[in-house]
């Protein structure tokens, strides 16, 4: 098993410690401390199978102990990896913190992922286990688990709920077992990258760096023990986990409300019942909430802050959000690799509407460069590179991709095109890498092209993003058929059957005779995609 490492140069690590960013805390200590500090305060509310669940900090803590004992009894040992795929239920937190307690490294899959993606995470992380739920909504995750078992070499599969032939997880508080003492510089978990080139990469985050990012976020977002954070986006995503997210909320002693769906009907009811003060949304959801609020009878008056991030919010929508939802807007521009920017709660409206915020940390280094890597003049747009106390220095086990994704001096190439205002705020102007930002879910063009090319009647495929009124961006696959042209629905079903998340199935498919009208001479894939996209937009 490859060791998990994330190493900053000694001189930088010293500085981050000296400045108090890295305080030597671990994820597991953090919850123990909060449970000791305010055992009877409400920690998490949510529901599963229609049954309401409400745990105090002491109850959540007791469950994390039970989970730690349960995975230990199942044979898992510190440093081993378990791919975790759970929806927004309170047990998301007890399980994840239980794994931290046992020294196990969770790999965070999204509920939408299917066997191709889960199998990839298992292989890349060399996971010994996969942990999921019996069913959620209409989907039976045990079916998925069977396919994953067939495609990988997992030692154990664990199911929350009715486990059938798999192992069940015991959340009933029972006798403690000795807990693992992690080192704060250890990798605590692996996040999944949006993936711009091919398959998703694994992002190793250490206790020190991640805790800094959500502790500082909780402060910037004004969280207190009186705050109520609604987790509306998938809990495993970096934004609702750490910006300030459920982890930041627990750090602040606030209450976390797990929404089983981000749809206005579900979310508005929770806001009213639990007096939610803050939540985070992607732009298309923010627009849906604004529309729904006009005719909703629900009392949303407890809402103080709605954060929007994951994709660009137009200034027009940004201006309307506050009045429509009766709260403040906070723009968040972040990435699972690290850097997170926020507009501050006391910023003037112009900054909140027109920028995507400024970095969390005074030690977040921002470099904006041109194609040849030279800094652009102040205020001009260019490629965003960054380095800092909570931005990774490399992906897990990617010896070929790392020298491309990171500069020799450790800056992460975000792939975003931005400009920086005189007061240090970033404005996202576009991106250099080919992914489709579909409602905040990033879809790699290359990954989908590879799947389409596996179809016997596809000669060539180029996947591009097109503007979409509902999703922000949608994916469009241009296909040159080989022989009998395949039907569009058949191609979509083909991609789905290859075990991919639904959000990766092309939204639109256009059959072309060839790409030659656009691709004169030898052009890169990126250039080909750009030309096809431009030509399509001009003619449609
Ligand atoms: C434009 N593009 C944005 C924004 C992210 C907080 C918030 C979001 C994420 C996230 C996150 C954007 N305007 N406001 O992890 O902690 C695009 C950029 C970026 C990529 C990262 C967090 N906010 N983006 O979205 O890892 O292209 O993280 O590089 O999923 O989303 O995607 P992801």
Residue 447 located in a structural domain: yes
Atom of ligand 1 nearest to the CA of 191: 26
317 and 458 housed in the same domain: no
Atom of ligand 1 nearest to the CA of 337: 26
Which 3 state secondary structure label does DSSP give 337? coil
Tokens of 520: 């004169």
- 237: domain range? 32-359
Q: Give the residue, out of 190, 200, 247, 309, with the most ligand 1 atoms within 8 A of its beta carbon, to mutate for a pocket test.
A: 309
Atom of ligand 1 nearest to the CA of 435: 27
Separation of CA 336 and ligand 1 centre (Å): 8
Report the share of the chain in percent with pLDDT over 90.
90
Separation of CA 434 and ligand 1 centre (Å): 15
Residue 32: phi and psi, rounded to 5, are -60, -45
Separation of CA 310 and ligand 1 centre (Å): 4
Separation of CA 137 and ligand 1 centre (Å): 27
- Helical H segments across 153-244, by residue range: 207-220, 238-242
Q: What share of the chain is helix, strand, coil (3-state, %, to 5)?
A: 35, 25, 40
User: With a threshold of 0.90, does the pTM exceed it?
Assistant: yes
Can you tell me the mean pLDDT for 342-358? 98
Angle CA(46)–CA(224)–CA(357) in degrees, nearest 5?
95
pLDDT band per the 50, 70, 90 thresholds, residue 423: very high
Atom of ligand 1 nearest to the CA of 441: 30
pLDDT at 394: 97
- Predicted ipTM of the assembly: 1.00
Report residues whose beta carbon is within 6 angstroms of any ligand 1 atom.
194, 238-239, 242-243, 309-312, 331-336, 340, 356, 414, 416, 428, 431, 440, 442
In whole angstroms, give the CA distance from residue 532 to residue 539. 11
In whole angstroms, give the CA distance from residue 339 to residue 280. 17
Residue 425: phi and psi, rounded to 5, are -85, 145
Q: Give the residue, out of 310, 351, 431, with the most ligand 1 atoms within 8 A of its beta carbon, to mutate for a pocket test.
A: 310
Sheet holding 508-511, edge to edge: 458-468, 472-481, 508-511
How many domains, the chain?
A: 2
Q: How many residues does the chain have?
A: 540
Read off the pLDDT of residues 159-170 as tens digits, 9 standing for 90 and up.
999 999 999 987
The answer to whether the beta carbons of residues 393 and 406 sit under 8 Å apart is yes
349 and 440 housed in the same domain: no
The answer to whether the beta carbons of residues 244 and 276 sit under 8 Å apart is no
pLDDT over 70 at 509, yes or no: yes
> Which of 331, 274, 322 has the alpha carbon at shortest distance from 298?
274
The answer to whether the beta carbons of residues 536 and 517 sit under 8 Å apart is no
- Helical H segments across 326-474, by residue range: 349-354, 402-405, 445-453
Separation of CA 92 and ligand 1 centre (Å): 22
The answer to whether the beta carbons of residues 440 and 282 sit under 8 Å apart is yes
In whole angstroms, give the CA distance from residue 214 to residue 237. 13
Can you tell me the mean pLDDT for 457-462? 94
Residue 526 located in a structural domain: yes
Which 3 state secondary structure label does DSSP give 405? helix
CATH number reported for the structural domain that contains residue 513 in this entry: 3.30.300.30
pLDDT over 80 at 174, yes or no: no
Separation of CA 239 and ligand 1 centre (Å): 8
217 and 333 housed in the same domain: yes
Residue 202 located in a structural domain: yes
Last residue of some domain: 321, 336, 359?
359
CATH number reported for the structural domain that contains residue 305 in this entry: 3.40.50.12780
CA-nearest residue for atom 28, ligand 1, is 335
Residue 294 located in a structural domain: yes
Residue 335 located in a structural domain: yes
Atom of ligand 1 nearest to the CA of 308: 14
Which residue is listed with tokens 């491309």? 404
How many CA atoms lie within 13 Å of 258's alpha carbon, on the beta-carbon side?
Answer: 29
Which residue is listed with tokens 């991030």? 309
Q: Which of 74-83, 123-132, 300-309, 525-534 has the lowest mean pLDDT?
A: 525-534
Atom of ligand 1 nearest to the CA of 241: 16
Mean pLDDT for the chain? 95
Residue 402 located in a structural domain: no
CA distances to 54, 267, 442, 446 from 434, in Å: 43, 33, 10, 8
CA-nearest residue for atom 13, ligand 1, is 312
Read off the pLDDT of residues 222-234 as tens digits, 9 standing for 90 and up.
999 999 999 999 9
């Amino acid at each position: 098993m490859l060791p998990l490492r994330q190493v900053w140069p000694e001189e930088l690590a010293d500085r981050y410690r000296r400045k108090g960013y890295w305080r030597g805390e671990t994820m597991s200590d953090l919850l123990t401390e909060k449970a000791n500090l305010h055992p009877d305060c409400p920690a998490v509310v949510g529901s599963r199978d229609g049954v309401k669940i409400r745990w105090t900090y002491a109850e959540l803590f007791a469950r994390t102990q039970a989970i730690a004992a349960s995975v230990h009894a199942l044979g898992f040992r510190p440093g081993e990896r378990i791919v975790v795929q759970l929806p927004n239920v309170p047990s998301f937190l007890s399980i994840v913190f239980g794994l931290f307690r046992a020294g196990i490294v969770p790999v965070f899959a999204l509920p939408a992922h299917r066997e191709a993606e889960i199998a990839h995470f298992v292989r890349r992380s060399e996971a010994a286990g996969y942990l999921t739920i019996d069913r959620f909504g209409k989907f039976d995750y045990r079916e998925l688990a069977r396919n994953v078992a067939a495609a990988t070499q997992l030692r154990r599969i664990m199911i929350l709920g009715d486990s059938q032939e798999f192992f069940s997880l015991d959340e009933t508080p029972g006798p403690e077992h000795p807990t693992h003492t992690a080192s704060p510089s250890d990798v605590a978990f692996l996040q999944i990258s949006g993936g711009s080139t091919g398959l998703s990469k694994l992002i190793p985050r250490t206790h020190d760096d991640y805790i800094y990012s959500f502790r500082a976020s909780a402060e910037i977002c004004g969280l207190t023990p009186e705050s109520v954070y609604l987790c509306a986006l998938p809990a495993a995503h970096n934004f609702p986990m750490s910006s300030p997210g459920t982890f930041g909320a627990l750090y602040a002693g606030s209450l976390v409300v797990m929404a089983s769906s981000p749809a206005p009907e579900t979310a508005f009811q929770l806001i009213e019942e639990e007096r939610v003060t803050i939540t985070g949304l992607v732009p298309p959801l923010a627009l849906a909430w604004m529309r729904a609020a006009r005719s909703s009878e629900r009392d949303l008056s407890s809402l103080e802050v709605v954060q929007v991030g994951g994709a660009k919010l137009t200034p027009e929508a940004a201006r309307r959000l506050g009045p429509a939802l009766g709260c403040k807007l906070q723009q968040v521009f972040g990435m699972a690799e690290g850097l997170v920017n926020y507009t501050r709660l006391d910023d003037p409206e112009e900054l909140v509407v027109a920028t995507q915020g400024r970095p969390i940390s005074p030690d977040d280094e921002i470099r904006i460069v041109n194609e040849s890597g030279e800094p652009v003049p102040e205020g001009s747009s260019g490629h965003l590179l960054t380095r800092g106390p909570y931005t990774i220095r490399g992906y897990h086990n990617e010896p070929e991709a790392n020298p491309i994704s990171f500069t020799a001096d450790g800056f992460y190439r975000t792939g975003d095109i931005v400009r920086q205002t005189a007061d240090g705020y970033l404005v996202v102007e576009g991106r250099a890498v080919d992914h489709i930002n579909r409602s905040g879910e990033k879809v790699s063009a290359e990954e989908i092209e590879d799947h389409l090319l596996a179809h016997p009647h596809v000669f060539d495929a180029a996947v591009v993003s097109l503007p979409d009124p509902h999703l922000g961006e949608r994916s469009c696959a241009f296909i040159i058929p080989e022989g009998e042209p395949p039907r569009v629905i058949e191609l979509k079903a083909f991609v789905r059957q290859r075990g991919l998340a639904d959000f990766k199935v092309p939204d639109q498919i256009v059959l072309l005779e060839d790409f030659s009208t656009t691709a004169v001479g030898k052009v890169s894939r990126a250039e080909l995609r750009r030309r096809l996209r431009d030509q399509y937009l001009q003619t449609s």
